[in-house]
């Protein structure tokens, strides 16, 4: 065999067989089986025959902790903005990538803010970026949900 026929044998027969042997073998073995489906699988877990009725008492283990989760978020408010300065302020913050403001109602007043943020440090960092860009100092306030 010369080099050219050995090269063709290697690239056209041995390499494809090496690459595609396992998928083709799996396809042939599972030919009549359904392997892929868009249907949701049924729950095959054994169902308990136990049900709790209203008149039964439920014992909860003393080690079982019940905890109340308090979720909080942070918002930057700008109480000194009025309708005239609001449009200039929005144009300036759009230049640094902030595209929306929220309205907060407080004692018959509407206060404009940016947020809410999950992290207080993130809100303060954004406040510093806005202050450098616009000169307006925002107040960081906590919102309890």
Single pTM value for the model: 0.46
CA dihedral defined by 84, 85, 86, 88, rounded to 10 degrees? 110
Which CATH number is associated with domain 72-144? Answer: 3.30.70.1070
User: Which residues are CB-contacts of 145 (< 8 A; sequence separation ≥ 6)?
Assistant: 71, 72, 73
Inter-CA distances, 5 with 2, 8, 47, 81, 141, Å: 6, 5, 64, 82, 78
- Domain residue ranges of the chain, discontinuous segments joined by +: 1-32, 72-144
Going residue by residue through the chain, which has 145 residues, state the pLDDT in tens, using 9 for 90 and above: 688 888 888 888 889 999 999 989 988 888 887 666 676 666 665 555 555 555 556 666 666 555 555 567 888 887 777 777 777 878 888 888 887 777 777 777 777 788 777 788 888 888 888 888 887 787 888 876 5
Instruction: Give the pLDDT score at 21.
Output: 93
Instruction: Give the pLDDT score at 20.
Output: 92
Whether 127 and 138 have beta carbons less than 8 Å apart is answered as: yes
Place of tokens 């404009």: 112
Inter-CA distances, 79 with 94, 105, 116, Å: 19, 11, 16
Per-residue model confidence as pLDDT tens digits over 58-72 = 666 666 555 555 567
């Amino acid at each position: 065999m010369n080099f050219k026929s050995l090269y063709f044998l290697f690239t056209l027969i041995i390499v494809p067989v090496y690459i595609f042997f396992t998928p083709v073998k799996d396809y042939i073995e599972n030919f009549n089986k359904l392997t892929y489906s868009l249907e949701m699988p049924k729950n095959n877990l054994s169902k308990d025959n136990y049900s709790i009725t209203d008149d039964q008492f439920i014992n909860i283990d003393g080690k079982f902790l019940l905890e109340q989760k308090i979720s909080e978020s942070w918002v930057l408010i700008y109480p000194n903005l009025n309708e005239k300065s609001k449009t200039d302020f929005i144009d300036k913050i759009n230049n640094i990538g902030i595209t929306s403001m929220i309205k907060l109602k407080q004692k018959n007043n509407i206060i404009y803010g940016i947020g809410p943020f999950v992290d207080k440090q993130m809100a303060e960092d954004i406040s510093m970026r806005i202050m450098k860009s616009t000169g307006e100092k925002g107040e960081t306030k906590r919102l309890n949900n």
